[in-house]
Amino acid sequence: MMHCPQDLLAKLVSYQSLTPIDAGCQLYMMNYLRQIGFTCQILDNYPVNNFFAYLGAASPLLLFAGHTDVVAAGELAAWDSDPFVLTQRDHRLYARGSADMKGGLACMLDAVARFVKDYPTFAGGLGFLITSGEEGDAFHLGTPYVLEQLSNDGIRPTYCIVGEPSSETIVGDAIKIGRRGSLSADIVVHGKQGHVAFPHLAINPIHILSPVLHELTTMIWDHGNQYFPPTSMQITQLQAGGLGSNVIPGQIILQLNWRFSTEQTAASLQENVARCFERHNLMPEITWRLNGNPYLTTYGELLKQTVNAIVEITGKKPMLTTNGGTSDGRFIAACGIEVIELGMRYSTIHQANECIDATDLQMLSNIYYLICKKLIL
């Protein structure tokens, strides 16, 4: 069974797999993989759907990882066509998930099908780790859970390509070799509610928090390094008052997020924040959430052969970057697996009229195919 990557993408985007609901997209992928010889193992973790598929020997095992879930389409009036019907206009293919990341999944399926047909016997193994929980808050029920199950079964991939959109102006012009870590804090600072006419009888939490916010927002956390920009912090929510123009609020709620480099750890950031509040004689309630540690892949056979494959096909050496948000690569790297991210262009992801260039599909499929040859043939 063979399909071109555009046909595969058209089928994949037709499933309205809004995170974390898969809506049958993974069943289609598993049926496709079974027909070319893969064994598929369903590893659902409600409400997230997951599966692992494999073919060949245990080592070296090249794993293709990705997610079938997409973000909501948003206002349909902002789209020029149905977001769940692949539509071609002016050499571009429009649909929700076309770039992030069902385009990558279609290329993986196409590349592996061609590889297995051309080389029915090969020394290593091929695998797929697919989840429907990457885009939302249930990410811990997806890739981390599957990796734990694989570890329990004694399965450890050697290499992993995550199909997240990584390219900038042409497919293959950039490889993500790492990502920054993400740390969030939910903070409550208590004051004392009162009448604005009698401020001496109240404690305004907005006022007492203001010096802390000034210090935190102007703090230089680090200077980054050759691979990562400096650690940054952003205020993502600030809420207080609203009871009336003459009422001093009794508390303020604050949410912060750090995107941090390998120059920091979650513990060091938490310690610096605690000291800042102590300097201002405040004892807030803080709930910390580590969304992921930074990871970095600066060398190894996977990176070497991926660069070689891209140069062979495009004639240009790719940039090695760590920009963007978090991805499931952080969980894979934590298991000691060589991991990179290589996929479609990211310029339209999560937007209305998300799209890819029609020629990008075959280009990315060819790159994946050549990587398979270089690593496991």
Catalytic residue numbers read: 69, 134
Dihedral angle over CA of 289, 99, 346, 139, nearest 10: 10
Distance CA 42, CA 92 (A): 34
Does a cis peptide bond (omega within 30 degrees of 0) precede residue 344?
A: no
Q: How many CB atoms lie within 10 A of CB 207?
A: 12
Sheet holding 61-67, edge to edge: 39-42, 50-56, 125-131, 61-67, 159-162, 338-341, 174-176, 319-321
| Alpha helix positions (H), 63-159 | 102-118, 143-152
Sign, Cα dihedral of 135, 139, 141, 143: positive
Quick one: tokens of 39? 């064994």
Contacts 24+ apart (CB under 8 A), 27-32: 29/68, 29/105, 29/109, 29/128, 29/130, 32/1, 32/8, 32/109, 32/113
Q: Amino acid identity of 326?
A: T
Quick one: tokens of 291? 């969304």
Alpha carbon distances (Å) from 304 to 71, 311, 372, 377? 33, 11, 13, 16
Alpha carbon distances (Å) from 130 to 88, 109, 188? 27, 12, 38
Quick one: tokens of 36? 């070319």
Alpha carbon distances (Å) from 96 to 15, 68, 88, 351? 10, 11, 13, 8
Quick one: tokens of 216? 């935190």
